[in-house]
Structures are given as C-alpha cells and as structure tokens.
Structure 1
Amino acid sequence: MMDNKRNYMIAIGLSVLIVLAWQFLYMNPRIEAQRKATEAAQQTELAAAKDKPAADPTAPAGSVQGALPAGAQGSQEMSRDDAIAKSARVEIETPAVIGSINLTGARLDDLKLKEYHETVDKSSPLITLFNPSDTADGYFAELGYIAGEGAGSAPGPATVWAAPEGAKLTQETPVTLTYTNDAGLTFSRKISIDDHYMFTVEDTISNSGTAAANVAPYGRITRYNKPLTPSVYVIHEGFLGVLGSNNGLTEEKYSAIEKESMTNAKATGGWLGITDKYWASALVPPQGVAYDSRFSHFTDGKPRFQADYKNDAVAIAPGQSTTLKTLVFAGAKEVPVVDGYARDDSWFGKLFASVLGGKSETITNYSVPRFDLLIDWGWFYFFTKPMFMLMDFFFRHIGNFGVAILLTTIVVKGLFFPLASKQYASMANMKRVQPKMAELKEKFGDDKMALQKAMMELYKTEKINPVAGCWPVVLQIPVFFSLYKVIYITIEMRHAPFFGWIRDLSAPDPTTIVNLFGLLPFDGPAFLHLGIWPIIMGVTMFLQMRMNPTPPDPTQAMLFTWMPVLFTFMLASFPAGLVIYWAWNNTLSIMQQSIIMKRHGVKVELFDNLKGLFRRKKPAETK
C-alpha cells in the first residue's frame, strides 16, 4: 500500500507534468505557427480579392430562408479615416465607447473602447472593435429588412437613413433615424445606448399605404479577419450563441466554419455573435418572434465571417404600425457588465450581483437569456467563477489584482486546511507503523497476498487511511486550472499590474536570466526565456519537495530532483499572475506542512535533506 500510494502521487505529478509539457513544447510552438500561417493566409486572401472583381464584399450573401439584400457594388479598400469620412454619420460618445453610426445602412461600423488600450502604455491607441466595410479589417453590425409582398423597397446595406441635424448618440440622448420607401412604409429607428456596451434599437414601422405589407427583419455581424493571435485550448474564440431562450450554448471555432458553414435550428429568443478573448459583439433578436440563424464564412470576393439571423415576416396592415426591439452588444467582456445584462431577480442572481458590486449596480437588467455564457468559464465554472468573484472582491477593496491573488490563495489554503491536516496526520501515522510494516514484510516474504491482507489489518487496527494524503493534491488540481482560466480569460486581469516589473499579470514575466534580467542589451532566444518569478516559483517548489525524505527508488529520486527544474522552465511562458500564485502557494504549503508535521510529531526533513544534498561524501565512501 505504501508503494501504491507513492506510485499514485507520482502518477499525479506526471499527469500535471505532461499537461505543462504539452503547453510548453506543443501548444506554444503551434500558436506561433498558426499566427504566422494566419497572417500569410490573410495576405493571400487580400491579394486575391484585389485581383477578382467579385460581388460586393459588404453583402450578406444569402440567408437561411430567402436572400438578404445586396449592398452597393465596387467598394474599394481604403484607410480607416478615409472610409469613415466617405459617408454621413452620427457621432457616438459615452463613458465607455466612442465612434459613429454610418447612415448608409444604419451600420455600427466605427467603435473604439475608451477604457482599453492596445498595450500597457496608457498613451497607446485605444482598442478598435468595429471598422467600416471598406477597410482591410472590416467588422460591423447591421440591422435591416427583407421586403415581402406589398412592402416595396425595404432598408438594407445601401439604404441612406435620415438623421436630425447635429444628432449625437450618448447614454442620455438617443438618436432617431428615419427612412420612407416607395410603398408608403416609414421606418423610424430609435437607437439608444447605456453606460457600457449595449445598444437598444427600436424600429417602428408605419404603413400609410393602401395595402398590407410584409417585411422580415434581419441582423448580421460581419467580420473580415480572424484575430492575428490564435487562441489556445483554454478559451473559445469564434462564433457562439444561445439559440432559443431555453437552450444551452452553441460554440463554433473560426476554423470549423471556414470548412463548412452552419445553419442552426429555428429558435425563439436567445442571442448570437462573435467573440474574441476579451471583446465580443452579439445580436439579441426580437425575443417574441421566431428566427433562422447561421454561422458562415464567405469567399465570394472579400473573404468574411458572418453570424446572422432572419425573423419570420411581420405583416403591417394599412394605417397600422408595429414596433420591434433588438439589442446589439459591442464591447469588452467585463464580468459584472455581462452578468448584469443576464441578471435575474432570483436570490442566486441577486447574490452574484451583490458580490460583484461596482458596475453591476449601474447596469440595466435586459434579462438576455444566459448572456453570462459570453464569457468562457470552462468546465470548472463552479470553481472558476467563484474564484474570480473572490479575487474581484479583494481587488475592489485593495486595488491590486496581484495582492488579490495572494489573499485568494490564503483563503483557498484555509478551505483545504482540514484535508491538509489529515494528509500530514496520515503521513505521521504511516511513519509510526513503519517498524511493524517491516516486520510483516520479513514474516511473509514473497507471499504478496498474505502480506497485503496483514497490512490491511494493520491499517484497520491503527485506524490509518493510506490514501487520505492524496485527496488534497487531487482536489487542488482543478483549483489550479481554474485560477489559470481566470487569469487567462478575464479582461479584469488584462494589463493589471502587480509590483515592480510586473505590469501585466496576464502576460509572462518580462525579465529573463539570459540577459541578467535586463542588465545586458539583448533578449536571447525565446525558449530560454526564464524570468525572476518563475525562478522564485522553482525555488519554492524545490524547498517544498525537500520537506519529505528522498525516495529510495532511483527513478523516483530523479523525478523528485528534476521536477522543480522542469516546472520552472515550463511555467516561464505562463501568465505572471499564475506563477506568482504557484510560488505563494508553495510558500504557504511549506509553512503549513511544517506546523502540521510538528503537531503530529513528524520530523521536518527540509534542513536534513538540504544538508545531505550539499554534504560531500567522505573518502571512505567514494569508490
């Protein structure tokens, strides 16, 4: 049983080692290769698009049922400033976003996020989310209509809407656009926005003609290019949506849609869109009307990705009007904001809102079905989200996410303290019965069945559970990966500083031992990058492992010795916040283990092991 326990612990260590090796040796090179391949493919596509006079790159192509309208032909690629200056616009400015609405198509195609910069330098450019369709990085949201019987021409990509002179969209001043067609239909579009990232579009369609008219609302988010930095396995980037009020999340990666477009089942309620690591855009169709939807990739001219929907046709009788409400989210995936849009009035929803606090108190409750799934919390969401909430709680009171990670680690260690106490108590009891176990081995010799039975009786008599010490290790594995997920996916960690040289907890430690931590004027090869915090983590892991006697088996002893070194190099490419957590967790474990082992009368082997490691052998011992 002692051997089984030791082997079980080695298996756990090797499992973690394999995962880290896979990240370091396979995923990181693969991400870099994908990034280069994506850049090359985009350049090739752009060159092909310039040489091929094809269909309008802004056209939505076909819909699931019935063609969406085509836009103006012959648009040419131009700079962002020229594309914006080309058409009449309504300015947008709120505390969170700045940009404009293109009156041609009433598109949201110019949007920057005022609270986020491209780098940690606050003077760097703002994050640009939406770009006009005439640019190389076109990305926009559009709402329109498909004309049915008696409707005449319905507003689409080429429709020029009218706006009041001097109109400006702010969180306090909505804007109303109008368009009247040749069949007597007047479309009045009221656009409003909250303090964050949710646009509300209310379309009132009035029929002043003599015949009934049918129009089918549609919406689309179109994007020309994928993110330049491909995502890793811990986060979803691409298409997603909750297609139906009572349905779960649907996710499709860019690569999958490039191979084959996806037509979704007819649904009522829900939302759909496109997500990146930190940013997203989503459409929330009118919730009481059924719609068809799809995730597509088009190569007819300008290659583009598109998430779109088309509602069933709406009939407007002569002299009557109808109003449809659509929501458009475009912005940063801030946890309290996204949760606020999905927040309900149940006690559970109120609990989350009260814990998150801050921005959640100022967010309009749109009750978008399961909109909180816009953030990819992963399989361990029941660990991941509460862990973020705990860190966010500390951050709001302290103002430093690095310190919040340290305090969260203390709380987690406190929660696991009873299990850790049992672990080290089990170690003490196992050490106490070692002489009796040796007697049993001598008594039964090679009779393994009899020896196993005798050992089980011994454990029962001494009230020892030989595998009790493994549970803390097993349970801390999902906690570790949950923290990794939190640090990697949450925008709150992006560009969050700690102290000193750590200016971004979501990025690797920028220092490296190759240039003596910045003293020499070069960076050295990437695979040798080894920062200060990974080294600190490696030292603490080494000391923690030396708390226990070195295994007598040579293979186990070699693993025991080299594992801290391997982990040090592997974690060098991980986010600094995760490395700081691991180093601090190791330090707390050393302190905790020392206290518990002394309490149970077990000798702390750290100093003896360190002395033995550096003690030279006597001449008589050398061969």
Structure 2
Amino acid sequence: MSEQRNILLAILLSVGIFLSWPYVSHYVFGTPLEQPATELAKDDTPAPPPGADTVLEATGDTAEKRTVFQTREEALAASADRVRIQTGKLAGSIRLEGARFDDLTLSAYRETTDENSPPVDLLAPSGAPHPYFAEFGWRPVDPQTRVPDADTPWTADRTVLDENNPVTLTWDNGQGLRFVRTISVDENYMFTISQQVVNTSDAPVTLYPFGRISREFKPKTVNFFILHEGPIAVLDGTLKELDYPDAKDGEKVEASTTGGWMGITDKYWLAALVPDQDKVVNATMGARPSGASDNYSVAYAGGRMTVAPGQSIAVTDRFFAGAKEYDLLSDYSSRLGINQFAKAIDFGWFWFFTMPFTWALHHLYLLLGNMGLAILAFTVVLKIFFFPLANKSYESMSRMKLLTPEMKKLQERFKDDRVRLNQEMMALYQKEKVNPLSGCLPIVLQIPVFFALYKVIFVNIDMRHAPFYGWITDLSARESITVFNLFGLIPWTPPDFQLLWVGSLALTMGVTMWFQQKLNPAPQDPTQAKIVGSLPIIFTFILAPFASGLILYWTWNNILSILQQWVIMRRLDRQRSKGAKV
C-alpha cells in the first residue's frame, strides 16, 4: 500500500508542476520586455548556395546609427515617403527609402476584446520601440557594384497598394543597372515580390537575391513549454524551431534547402519569407548582438545570377505577414506549393490529432457561430468516438463500486493477514469476473487525444477574443470575475495571483470533478482516499487561471462522463436487483 501511495503522490506532484509551472515561472522568473536596439549590427544575409565562393558581403562590418523614437507613430512620421497598403485585412505602408515592409497592421484583429481597441500592429519601422521589418534585394559579387540598400530612394508608380493594383518600384544605380521591383498583395496576408535587374552597361554583372526578416527586440512571450515562439522554418521538408533564449546564447540554424519557408512566429501571428519553391537557397536563423538588445533574424540567399549586357534577370519571392489561420495556411500550402506551411501553427507532438482537431473545431465554429458551442459540440463528438472504450472503463469501475461492501467485509475479516486478504480479494474478482485494472487502459489510450485537444484550444486563433455567453467574453483568457470579489458584485480586482482567481466556471468544474469521483470506487487505503478526495479542490485552484475555453471543455467533458457513468450504474443496479449476472 505504501508503494501505491508513493506512486499516487508522485503523479499528483508531476501533474501539479506541469500545470502550474508557467505561472510560477512568470511571477518568479519573469523578465521585463527588452529595450530596442540603438544601432544596427553587421549584415547577416547568408552566402548563396555552393558555386558562389567568391561572393563578398556588400555591407561588410559597417554599422548604421539611427534615432530611436518614443512611439511607433513618430518613427513612421520620420520617413513620410511611403506607399500605402490598404486591403480588407491589412493596413500600413512600405517605406520607399529602402523599400522595406516595416508598417503593417492586422485590421481584422483587435488588441483587446473592446471593439474600440486599436487593431494589432505586426510590423514596425527601425527606430520604433519594437522594430520588426522585412526586406528583399540583391547582393553583388563585386563589392564595387552599387545595389539597393536600406537608404536607397526608390520611385513608385502608385501611392496605394491594394488587392487589385500592384505597385512597381524602380531605381537606377548610375552604373548601367536598373532595378525594378513589382509588389502585389492578395485579399489575405500574402505579398508577391517580383524583382528584375536590367543591365544596360557593357559588362556582365553577377548578383544573388536575398530576403530577410529582422526583429530588433525580444517580444513578450507566453513562456509555456508547449508553445514555440521565435524563429521557425521548414527546410528541405524538416520543421526547424529556435527559441529566443537559445538564439540569444548563440545557437543558429543554417541549411541549404529547395523550397520551404522561414519566419518568426508568435502565438497567433507570423511573418515568413517564402522563396521560389523550385530553387535552392541557403537559409539561416539566429540572433546577433545589436547595441543594448538583440536582433533576431531569419534570412535566405538564392543562387548566383549573372546578367549579361543588354539582358535582364528576374526572381519572384513571397512574404507572408498575418494571422495563423489554419485553413488559410493550408490553402497557401496546396495552392502555392509551400511545403508544410500550416506547421507555422504549433501542433506539438500529437500533430496527427491536433491538425484534424483544429480543422474540425474551425468548421464547427463556422456552422454554429460561437466558439464555445463548437467546443461543446466537438467534445460530444469525441465522447461518441470513444464511447466503446469509455463504456468499458466506466462499467469496470461501476462493478468495482458494487463490490465495495464485500471488499470491506474481507478487509475487516483479514485485517491482520495481508497475504490472505490479497488471496481472498483475487478470488472475489475472479468469482465476479472483475478486473481491477480493466478500467485503466481506455483512460490511458485517451490521454494523448485529450492533451491534443488541450493544445488545439490553447493555440487556435479562433479562440482569441471569442465570446461565449454571459460573463465569458474571451475563451482564450481566464474568467473576468472571481469568487473573491463575489463574481463582480464587489468593485474590487483581486491581485494577479493564481490562488485568488477562481471563477464560477472553475468552481463548476471542481464540483463536477467531485461528483464524478463519488461515482468511482474509493481507494481502500485511508491515506490514498484522503489524497484522492482532495484532488477536486487542488485541481480547481490549479486550473482556474487557465483559458476559460479549456475550463469549459473540462467541465462539459466531466458532465458527459457523469451522465454516461450514471446510466451504466443504473443498468448494473437493475440487473443486480433482478438477480442477473452483472
């Protein structure tokens, strides 16, 4: 019995650490948001693929000083010569000096649940408090060849870029090379960048194309080990992830790839480079020291291209900047041939569950019009799918519960003879055809499925700011009211501490856990019985600060399990009362 008690305590402690660690790490080890860099470091564009060994970096070890502004708006105003971006889902601008994508706002998403809150800002210019931008261009083999850089004054043929009207940028280097860049955008979040170089000189020129995303600060992250945030890529069919701390410590990812993509991901947003999927590029992800902070970047370089006199060369790449909507990423992956683009969403270890779960929840949401109802409906579907396994488990536990009086009699009779007690208990199990372990296997088989659903609810953008009913206005956040302010009746906001944030939905979950526990046979060992009996209280406090969508799922799943188990127990009781073999 003592060994079983130790195992139970170890399981309880492990689950408690697993569920509470993100909150402990946030409050105890949390670090403030890092300050923006005050200067730009050495250019980090990778070398082109093999065959271009004589390539020299155009910018070398030079560092560019820049002004740091107090606000994003001030930084944008300092570079007023811009092409405005205006689509149904995006707003922002492209800075003509350097032709950078450094001003982008996601019009369909708000910072908070308040409908008057500002839209989400994704990209910001160099010099803003949180610089985050993308750029494309060319690097020369001969360092004497002038190519566009961060200060190049491009000329645009239009002042507005929208879904129906691309913009063309041009610049002449004064050495016989004319650079033409045509930028288009679709109705969602994908930009297409077609670059052309026309050689009007009398000598051939060799260049190679590149693309780069720079994030000159460490963003505030969720700090939960089940979610990756930071540099991410699919290189030669393999998903690569690099965490911010590892990048800061000097770890890098460098690889040659045909196709694929590379970017920087947040929980819900993504900025990604998508080079020509038929060509070999060298990609790199990492961080480089940049003044008082760090500059996280992903970049690629294409193969060496030579443009003869009187000829031209061209390359077409893409740039994604927007929300990680599963259907949209999957559509881009199939329609544009972008390898595993949907894996920008962190599907985790059980991706073979989480990917179809994400699809199912999204389409239930479209059907029912409410993400909370979608969660309830999907939980019912899962319960139906696992009904045979769960039925076997609950039936076994119900049979064990019916044997409880007989087991107590044996314990009283053989309380001083442990060996005889075990023999009599096994004989009772054989007589009644009950296997005390038969209820465990179905539960174990369901663990990966439930963990996958937990993961889906955690990362699914459909959950963000999704209301349910009543006081639940955001299923991706914890409940807005708590028992410690009488569920909002007292005009007081408790301290932001886990044990003080137990809402009514969390209490309901705890009650359903307690009720479900009462339907199961209690452990015969008194110590184990006390531990098991305290679990509903413990888990109520541990799980209460989690997203209300997760609490909703757990509560509804408990209710369905109670109903299923109650039906089974009623059936077994009727059979037993009639003298039937149960």
**TM-score scaled by length of structure 1:** 0.83
Any idea what the Cα deviations from partners look like across 1:194-219, whole Å, max 9, x if unmatched?
Answer: 11111011112222221211011111
- Counterparts of 1:449 and 1:20, CA distance in 2: 37
Whole-Å separation in 2 of the counterparts to 1:253 and 1:198: 25
Match of 1:399 in 2: 369
State the 1:488 CA deviation: 1.4
- Given the alignment of the two structures, is residue 408 of structure 1 paired with residue 375 of structure 2, yes or no? no
CA apart distance, 1:147 = 1.3
The alignment partner of 1:377 has SS state of coil
CA contact 1:426–1:468 (8 Å) conserved in 2: yes
Q: 1:167 to 1:480 in 2, by over 3 A?
A: same
Counterpart CA distance in 1 for 2:205 and 2:378 is: 60
Task: Give per-residue Cα distances to partners, 1:129-169, cap 9 Å, x unaligned.
Answer: 010112121100000111124982112222221111x4311
AA aligned opposite 1:315: T
Aligned 8 A contact 1:278 1:491 in 2:
yes
The residue type equivalent to 1:523 in the other structure is: T
Q: Structure 1 counterpart of 2:174, which letter?
A: D
User: What residue in structure 1 maps to residue 579 of structure 2?
Assistant: none
Residue in structure 1 matched with residue 57 of structure 2 by the alignment: 67
Partner secondary structure for residue 77 of structure 1? coil
Residues 428 and 602, structure 1, Cα contact 8 Å, conserved in 2 = no
Provide the C-alpha distance between the structure 2 equivalents of 1:321 and 1:150, rounded to a whole number of angstroms.
20
Paired with 1:12 and 1:169, the residues of 2 have a C-alpha distance of: 62
Q: Does 1:423 align with 2:423?
A: no
Structure 1 residue 418: deviation in Å?
A: 1.0
- Structure 1 segment 184-583 matched on structure 2, within 5 A: 184-244=176-236, 247-301=237-291, 303=293, 304-343=295-334, 365-430=335-400, 464-525=434-495, 526=497, 527-583=499-555
Provide the secondary structure at the position in 2 that maps to 1:209.
Answer: coil
| Cα distance change on mapping 1:441 and 1:386 into 2, 3 Å | farther
Matches within 5 A, 1:119-198: 119-149=112-142, 152-164=145-157, 166-198=158-190
Q: Cα gap change, 1:600/1:11 in structure 2, threshold over 3 Å: closer, same or farther?
A: farther
Name stretches of at least 5 consecutive residues in structure 2 with no aligned partner. Answer: 49-55, 577-582
Task: Give the Cα–Cα distance (whole angstroms) in 1 for the partners of residues 43 and 220 of structure 2.
Answer: 23
What amino acid does structure 2 have at the position aligned with 1:130?
A: L
Alignment of 1:75-154 (within 5 A): 75-78=66-69, 79-87=71-79, 88-149=81-142, 152-154=145-147
**Does the CA-based 8 Å contact 1:268-1:290 persist in structure 2?**
yes
The worse-fitting range, judged by mean Cα deviation, of 319-328 and 534-543 is 319-328
State the AA in 2 paired with 1:118: E
Q: Are residues 72 and 424 of structure 1, via their aligned partners in 2, closer, same or farther at CA, if it must alter by over 3 Å? A: closer
Q: Is the 8 A contact 2:502 2:541 kept in 1?
A: yes
Distance 2:573 2:4 in 1: 25
What secondary structure sits across from 1:152 in the alignment?
Answer: coil
Cα drift, residue 306 of structure 1: 1.2
What SS does the aligned partner of 1:600 have? Answer: helix
The one-letter code matched in structure 1 to 2:64 is: Q
Quick one: which amino acid aligns to residue 601 of structure 1? Answer: D
Cα distance 1:211–1:117, how it changes in 2: closer, same or farther (>3 A)? Answer: same
Q: Which deviations, in whole Å up to 9, do the C-alpha atoms of 1:354-397 show, x marking residues without a partner?
A: xxxxxxxxxxx211111111000111122222222222222111
State the partner residue of 1:610: none
Is contact 2:198–2:313 with CA below 8 Å preserved after alignment?
yes
Secondary structure of the corresponding residue to residue 601 of structure 1? helix
1:199 partner amino acid: F
**1:11, 1:567 → 2: CA distance?**
18
Residue pair 1:243, 1:267 contacting (<8 A) in 2 also: yes
Alpha-carbon separation, structure 2, partners of 1:530 and 1:231 = 22
Q: How does 1:8-19 map to 2 (within 5 A)?
A: 15=11, 18-19=14-15
TM-aligned CA deviation for residue 420 of structure 1: 2.0
Q: Select between 572-581 and 257-266 the one with higher mean Cα deviation.
A: 257-266
Equivalent residues of 1:72, 1:157 under 8 A apart: no
Q: Does 1:586 align with 2:580?
A: no
RMSD of aligned residue pairs (Cα, Å): 3.1
Aligned amino acid, residue 66 of structure 2: S
Inter-CA distance 518–236: structure 2 relative to 1 (3 Å threshold): same
Q: Please state which structure has a larger fraction of its residues in helix.
A: 1
Partner of 2:51: none
The 2-side partners of 1:249 and 1:557 are apart by 46
Contact map agreement 2:400 2:521 (CA 8 A) in 1: no
Unmatched 5+ stretches in structure 1? 50-55, 344-364, 605-623
TM-score by length of structure 2 reads: 0.89
Q: Is the 2:277–2:337 contact (alpha carbons within 8 Å) kept by the matching residues of 1?
A: no
1:424 Cα deviation after fit? 3.1
The residue matched to 1:297 in structure 2 has which SS?
strand
Residue in 2 aligned with 1:30? 25
Supply the AA of the counterpart residue of 2:561: S
**Aligned residues between the structures:** 562
Distance 1:321 1:538, change over 3 A: same
